[in-house]
Amino acid sequence: MALLEVSNLSISFGGLRAVDNFSLNIEKNQLYGLIGPNGAGKTTVFNMLTGVYRPDEGIIRLDGQDLVGKKTIEINQAGIARTFQNIRLFGQQTVMDNVKIGLHNQYEYSTLTGILRLPKYHSMEKAMNEKAIDLLKVFELEDKADYLASNLPYGQQRKLEIARALATNPKLLLLDEPAAGMNPNETQELMDTIRFVRDNFDMTILLIEHDMRLVAGICEDLTVLNFGQVLAQGDTKTVLKNPEVIKAYLGE
Protein backbone atom coordinates (compact mmCIF):
# COMPACT_ATOMS: atom_id res chain seq x y z
CA MET A 1 0.00 0.00 0.00
CA ALA A 2 1.28 3.44 -0.90
CA LEU A 3 1.87 5.86 1.98
CA LEU A 4 -0.02 8.66 0.24
CA GLU A 5 -2.88 7.84 -2.09
CA VAL A 6 -4.57 10.69 -3.89
CA SER A 7 -7.23 10.02 -6.46
CA ASN A 8 -9.39 12.21 -8.66
CA LEU A 9 -8.75 15.38 -6.65
CA SER A 10 -10.50 18.47 -8.05
CA ILE A 11 -11.14 21.99 -6.85
CA SER A 12 -12.60 25.10 -8.49
CA PHE A 13 -12.32 28.75 -7.55
CA GLY A 14 -15.07 30.96 -8.92
CA GLY A 15 -15.83 28.61 -11.80
CA LEU A 16 -12.18 28.13 -12.69
CA ARG A 17 -10.97 24.56 -12.31
CA ALA A 18 -7.66 25.07 -10.53
CA VAL A 19 -6.91 21.39 -10.13
CA ASP A 20 -8.71 18.78 -12.18
CA ASN A 21 -8.80 15.05 -11.58
CA PHE A 22 -5.41 14.88 -9.89
CA SER A 23 -4.16 11.46 -8.82
CA LEU A 24 -0.89 10.48 -7.20
CA ASN A 25 0.59 7.59 -5.24
CA ILE A 26 3.73 7.95 -3.17
CA GLU A 27 5.45 4.95 -1.65
CA LYS A 28 7.05 5.06 1.74
CA ASN A 29 10.56 6.53 1.75
CA GLN A 30 10.20 7.92 -1.75
CA LEU A 31 11.49 11.32 -2.90
CA TYR A 32 8.82 12.58 -5.22
CA GLY A 33 8.70 15.77 -7.31
CA LEU A 34 5.71 17.82 -8.37
CA ILE A 35 6.60 20.20 -11.17
CA GLY A 36 4.89 22.36 -13.72
CA PRO A 37 4.78 25.93 -15.02
CA ASN A 38 3.69 28.82 -12.81
CA GLY A 39 -0.01 28.76 -12.02
CA ALA A 40 -0.34 25.07 -12.84
CA GLY A 41 -1.93 24.38 -9.44
CA LYS A 42 1.00 22.82 -7.56
CA THR A 43 0.62 24.84 -4.38
CA THR A 44 -3.14 24.33 -4.58
CA VAL A 45 -2.48 20.58 -4.40
CA PHE A 46 -0.38 21.16 -1.28
CA ASN A 47 -3.12 23.28 0.21
CA MET A 48 -5.63 20.51 -0.37
CA LEU A 49 -3.31 17.88 1.07
CA THR A 50 -2.86 19.96 4.23
CA GLY A 51 -6.50 20.90 4.66
CA VAL A 52 -6.12 24.61 3.88
CA TYR A 53 -8.58 24.07 1.03
CA ARG A 54 -11.22 21.41 0.97
CA PRO A 55 -11.30 19.64 -2.40
CA ASP A 56 -14.60 19.59 -4.31
CA GLU A 57 -14.06 15.95 -5.17
CA GLY A 58 -11.53 13.21 -4.64
CA ILE A 59 -9.86 11.10 -2.03
CA ILE A 60 -6.72 11.71 0.03
CA ARG A 61 -5.40 8.85 2.15
CA LEU A 62 -2.32 8.80 4.32
CA ASP A 63 -1.42 5.33 5.54
CA GLY A 64 -4.99 4.31 4.73
CA GLN A 65 -6.50 7.13 6.82
CA ASP A 66 -8.98 9.36 4.98
CA LEU A 67 -7.94 13.05 5.23
CA VAL A 68 -10.54 14.91 3.18
CA GLY A 69 -12.49 17.36 5.32
CA LYS A 70 -9.99 17.25 8.19
CA LYS A 71 -8.56 20.47 9.55
CA THR A 72 -4.96 21.52 9.01
CA ILE A 73 -4.13 20.76 12.64
CA GLU A 74 -5.61 17.26 12.46
CA ILE A 75 -3.78 16.57 9.23
CA ASN A 76 -0.52 17.61 10.82
CA GLN A 77 -1.22 15.29 13.71
CA ALA A 78 -2.06 12.53 11.22
CA GLY A 79 1.44 12.92 9.83
CA ILE A 80 1.79 15.55 7.10
CA ALA A 81 4.07 18.53 7.61
CA ARG A 82 4.90 21.22 5.11
CA THR A 83 6.95 24.27 4.26
CA PHE A 84 5.67 27.32 2.41
CA GLN A 85 6.57 28.90 -0.88
CA ASN A 86 6.64 32.33 0.78
CA ILE A 87 8.50 31.47 3.97
CA ARG A 88 6.32 31.49 7.07
CA LEU A 89 8.48 31.40 10.14
CA PHE A 90 7.68 32.69 13.59
CA GLY A 91 9.81 35.71 12.91
CA GLN A 92 9.83 37.30 16.35
CA GLN A 93 10.97 34.13 18.09
CA THR A 94 14.35 32.50 18.21
CA VAL A 95 15.49 29.78 15.83
CA MET A 96 15.41 27.39 18.78
CA ASP A 97 11.85 28.32 19.71
CA ASN A 98 10.69 27.89 16.13
CA VAL A 99 11.75 24.26 16.30
CA LYS A 100 10.34 23.87 19.80
CA ILE A 101 6.96 25.08 18.54
CA GLY A 102 7.20 22.29 15.99
CA LEU A 103 7.73 19.90 18.92
CA HIS A 104 4.57 21.21 20.61
CA ASN A 105 2.59 18.00 20.27
CA GLN A 106 5.50 15.67 21.01
CA TYR A 107 6.34 16.94 24.46
CA GLU A 108 3.27 17.92 26.42
CA TYR A 109 2.79 19.61 29.76
CA SER A 110 -0.09 21.75 30.93
CA THR A 111 -0.24 25.55 31.08
CA LEU A 112 -0.40 25.43 34.87
CA THR A 113 2.69 23.19 35.00
CA GLY A 114 4.39 25.81 32.88
CA ILE A 115 3.35 28.77 35.02
CA LEU A 116 4.25 27.07 38.29
CA ARG A 117 7.44 25.50 36.89
CA LEU A 118 6.55 22.07 38.26
CA PRO A 119 9.15 19.28 37.87
CA LYS A 120 7.54 18.09 34.64
CA TYR A 121 8.19 21.49 33.09
CA HIS A 122 11.92 21.12 33.64
CA SER A 123 12.16 17.56 32.36
CA MET A 124 10.07 18.28 29.28
CA GLU A 125 11.88 21.51 28.42
CA LYS A 126 15.20 19.70 28.76
CA ALA A 127 14.06 16.94 26.42
CA MET A 128 12.71 19.51 23.96
CA ASN A 129 15.94 21.47 23.97
CA GLU A 130 17.97 18.35 23.25
CA LYS A 131 15.68 17.25 20.45
CA ALA A 132 15.61 20.74 18.95
CA ILE A 133 19.39 21.02 18.97
CA ASP A 134 19.63 17.62 17.26
CA LEU A 135 17.33 18.84 14.52
CA LEU A 136 19.16 22.13 14.13
CA LYS A 137 22.44 20.24 13.76
CA VAL A 138 21.07 18.44 10.72
CA PHE A 139 20.65 21.81 9.05
CA GLU A 140 23.82 23.31 10.52
CA LEU A 141 21.84 25.91 12.38
CA GLU A 142 22.82 24.96 15.93
CA ASP A 143 25.11 27.96 16.39
CA LYS A 144 22.27 30.25 15.31
CA ALA A 145 19.86 28.87 17.93
CA ASP A 146 19.53 32.18 19.76
CA TYR A 147 19.02 34.33 16.66
CA LEU A 148 15.60 35.71 15.86
CA ALA A 149 14.24 33.69 12.96
CA SER A 150 13.57 36.82 10.91
CA ASN A 151 17.26 37.79 11.17
CA LEU A 152 18.51 34.66 9.41
CA PRO A 153 19.59 34.90 5.80
CA TYR A 154 17.11 33.63 3.26
CA GLY A 155 18.65 30.22 2.62
CA GLN A 156 18.81 29.44 6.32
CA GLN A 157 15.22 30.51 6.80
CA ARG A 158 14.21 27.88 4.25
CA LYS A 159 16.23 25.29 6.14
CA LEU A 160 14.72 26.32 9.45
CA GLU A 161 11.27 25.84 7.99
CA ILE A 162 12.18 22.27 7.06
CA ALA A 163 13.60 21.67 10.54
CA ARG A 164 10.40 22.98 12.10
CA ALA A 165 8.27 20.75 9.86
CA LEU A 166 10.40 17.74 10.77
CA ALA A 167 9.95 18.52 14.44
CA THR A 168 6.27 17.64 14.18
CA ASN A 169 7.39 14.06 13.52
CA PRO A 170 5.59 13.62 10.19
CA LYS A 171 5.31 10.58 7.96
CA LEU A 172 5.21 12.74 4.85
CA LEU A 173 7.07 16.00 4.33
CA LEU A 174 5.82 18.50 1.74
CA LEU A 175 8.38 21.05 0.56
CA ASP A 176 7.12 24.00 -1.47
CA GLU A 177 10.00 25.30 -3.60
CA PRO A 178 12.73 24.66 -1.03
CA ALA A 179 15.48 25.97 -3.32
CA ALA A 180 13.76 29.21 -4.35
CA GLY A 181 16.14 32.12 -3.96
CA MET A 182 19.18 29.96 -3.26
CA ASN A 183 22.44 30.18 -5.19
CA PRO A 184 23.84 27.04 -6.89
CA ASN A 185 26.11 26.21 -3.95
CA GLU A 186 23.28 26.48 -1.47
CA THR A 187 21.06 24.40 -3.73
CA GLN A 188 23.71 21.68 -3.91
CA GLU A 189 23.97 21.71 -0.13
CA LEU A 190 20.17 21.58 0.16
CA MET A 191 20.03 18.53 -2.11
CA ASP A 192 22.42 16.72 0.21
CA THR A 193 20.37 17.76 3.22
CA ILE A 194 17.12 16.55 1.68
CA ARG A 195 18.70 13.18 0.89
CA PHE A 196 20.09 13.03 4.42
CA VAL A 197 16.66 13.72 5.90
CA ARG A 198 15.08 11.03 3.77
CA ASP A 199 17.67 8.44 4.72
CA ASN A 200 18.17 9.27 8.39
CA PHE A 201 14.60 10.13 9.35
CA ASP A 202 13.11 7.39 7.20
CA MET A 203 11.07 10.15 5.61
CA THR A 204 8.82 10.31 2.57
CA ILE A 205 9.15 13.62 0.75
CA LEU A 206 7.01 15.34 -1.86
CA LEU A 207 8.46 18.56 -3.20
CA ILE A 208 7.48 21.31 -5.58
CA GLU A 209 10.44 22.81 -7.38
CA HIS A 210 11.31 24.89 -10.41
CA ASP A 211 15.05 24.24 -10.25
CA MET A 212 15.42 21.36 -12.70
CA ARG A 213 18.90 20.52 -11.49
CA LEU A 214 17.51 19.80 -8.06
CA VAL A 215 14.53 17.91 -9.43
CA ALA A 216 16.63 15.78 -11.78
CA GLY A 217 19.25 15.32 -9.09
CA ILE A 218 17.18 13.98 -6.23
CA CYS A 219 13.63 13.07 -7.26
CA GLU A 220 12.99 9.46 -8.13
CA ASP A 221 9.54 10.04 -9.58
CA LEU A 222 7.76 13.04 -10.96
CA THR A 223 4.29 14.33 -11.66
CA VAL A 224 3.98 17.21 -14.10
CA LEU A 225 1.01 19.50 -13.68
CA ASN A 226 -0.16 21.88 -16.40
CA PHE A 227 -3.32 24.00 -16.23
CA GLY A 228 -4.50 21.98 -13.25
CA GLN A 229 -4.21 18.63 -15.01
CA VAL A 230 -1.65 15.86 -14.84
CA LEU A 231 0.46 16.07 -17.97
CA ALA A 232 2.86 13.27 -17.23
CA GLN A 233 3.70 10.92 -14.40
CA GLY A 234 6.48 8.40 -13.87
CA ASP A 235 10.17 8.06 -13.15
CA THR A 236 12.16 11.24 -13.45
CA LYS A 237 14.27 10.42 -16.48
CA THR A 238 11.36 9.30 -18.63
CA VAL A 239 9.14 12.20 -17.64
CA LEU A 240 11.77 14.83 -18.35
CA LYS A 241 12.25 13.42 -21.86
CA ASN A 242 8.52 13.50 -22.56
CA PRO A 243 7.96 15.91 -25.52
CA GLU A 244 4.67 17.15 -23.99
CA VAL A 245 6.54 18.16 -20.85
CA ILE A 246 9.26 19.92 -22.78
CA LYS A 247 6.62 21.75 -24.76
CA ALA A 248 4.77 22.84 -21.65
CA TYR A 249 7.99 24.21 -20.16
CA LEU A 250 9.40 25.87 -23.23
CA GLY A 251 6.10 27.03 -24.68
CA GLU A 252 5.03 26.73 -28.29
Partner 1 sequence: MSFLSYLINGLSLGSVYAIIALGYTMVYGIAKMLNFAHGDVIMIGCYVVFTLMSQYGVHPGISILAAILICTCLGVVIEKIAYKPLRGANSLAVLITAIGVSYFLQNLALLIFGADTKSFTSVVNMPPLHLAGGKLTISAVTIVTVLSCIVIMIALMLFIRKTRAGQAMLAVSEDRDAAQLMGVNVNGTISLTFAIGSGLAAIAGILLCSAYPTLSPYTGAMPGIKAFTAAVFGGIGSIPGAFVGGLVLGIIEILGRAYISSQLSDAIVFAVLILVLLIKPTGLLGKPIQEKV
Partner 2 sequence: MKTGIKNMKKEVRGQLITYGLVIGVFIIVQVMLSLGMISNLMQGLLVPLCTYSIVAVALNLCVGYLGELSLGHAGFMCVGAFSSAFFTKCTMTTGLNENVRFFLALLVGTLTAALFGYLIGIPVLRLRGDYLAIVTLAFGEIIKNVINVLYIGRDSAGFHFGMKDETSLGLGEDGEVLVNGAKGIMRTPHQSTFTIGVILLLISLFVCFQLVNSRSGRAIMAIRDNRIAAESVGIPITKYKLLAFTISAAIAGIGGVLYAHNLSTLTAQPANFGYNMSIMILVFVVLGGMGSFRGSVIAAVLLTMLPEILRGLADYRMLIYAIVLIAMMLFNWSPKLIEFRKKFIADVFKKKEKEAA
Within 18-47, the residues that bind partner 1 by CB under 8 A are: 43, 47
Between 22 and 139, CB nearer to partner 1? 22
Partner from partner 2, partner 1, none contacting 81, C-beta within 5 to 8 A by type: partner 2
Pairing of the two strands 4-13 and 16-26: antiparallel
Rg (CA), the chain: 19
Partner from partner 1, partner 2, none contacting 104, C-beta within 5 to 8 A by type: partner 2
Binding mask 78-107 for partner 2 (x = CB under 8 A): ---xx-x---xxxxxx---x--xxx-xx-x
90 touching partner 1, by CB under 8 A: no
Task: Count CB atoms within 10 A of the CB of residue 244.
Answer: 12
52 touching partner 2, by CB under 8 A: yes
Of all residues in the chain, what percent are helix, strand and coil, respectively (each to 5)? 40, 25, 35
Closest CA to 214 of 166, 252, 168, 181: 181
Between 82 and 131, CB nearer to partner 1? 82
180 touching partner 1, by CB under 8 A: no
Contacts of 164 (CB under 8 A, 6+ apart): 89, 98, 99, 101, 102
Closest CA to 175 of 152, 201, 153, 197: 197
- Which residues contact partner 2 (rule: CB under 8 A)? 50, 52, 71-73, 76-77, 81-82, 84, 88-93, 97, 100-102, 104-105, 107-109, 111, 113-117, 121, 124-125, 128, 164-165, 167-168
